[in-house]
Homo-oligomer: A and B are copies of this chain.
Amino acid sequence: MPQITNARGYPIGAMSRETGVNIETIRYYERIELMPKPDRTAGGNRQYTHDHLKRLAFIKRSRELGFGIEEIRAMLTMVDQDSVTCGEVHAMTTEHLDSVKEKIRHLKKLERALTGMAAECAKGDVPDCPIIETLFEACNPDRNKTAR
């Protein structure tokens, strides 16, 4: 079976178009060994297979969901070694989910603070701005303890 399935494979531009991943980013993924090195044409251009495409799509989707490169690498390593266990993957997912929830909590705090500040402001041509004043006020409750 020395037969090639995909006539000539995908050049990098096709990979980029199919997945929405920037060409430079694809090369970057190769450099950091997240994507395996593809074959080259006689002239030295990369030629990807359908497996490369699937892998890149996996990476894209995972990145969109906010997984970090090392988390993705860990998942792909499991896939490569056929050692995927649902439990491990679930743990990684919920851990990541927790960090997303944490970020949401943090951003909501900022949202409340900023909304409050914006509401204070008459937003005219006035030079005395309550927003600036708020920012100049240190509002850390344990500052008193540290100050001597």
**Chain A: residues with CB nearer than 8 A to chain B?**
17-20, 54, 57-58, 61-62, 65-66, 75, 79, 82-87, 89-91, 93-94, 96-97, 100-101, 103-104, 107-108, 110-111, 113-115, 117-118, 121-132, 134-140, 143, 146-147
Residues of B within 8 A of A91 (CB): 123
Nearest B-chain residue to A59, judged by Cβ = B135
Q: Can you tell how many copies of this chain the complex includes?
A: 2
Least distance between A133 CB and chain B CB atoms (Å): 10
Residue of B nearest to A106 (CB): B66
Interchain Cβ contacts under 8 Å between A and B, 21 examples:
A17-B146, A18-B146, A58-B135, A58-B136, A61-B134, A62-B135, A79-B132, A83-B127, A84-B128, A86-B122, A87-B125, A90-B118, A90-B121, A90-B129, A90-B131, A93-B117, A93-B118, A93-B121, A97-B115, A101-B111, A107-B107
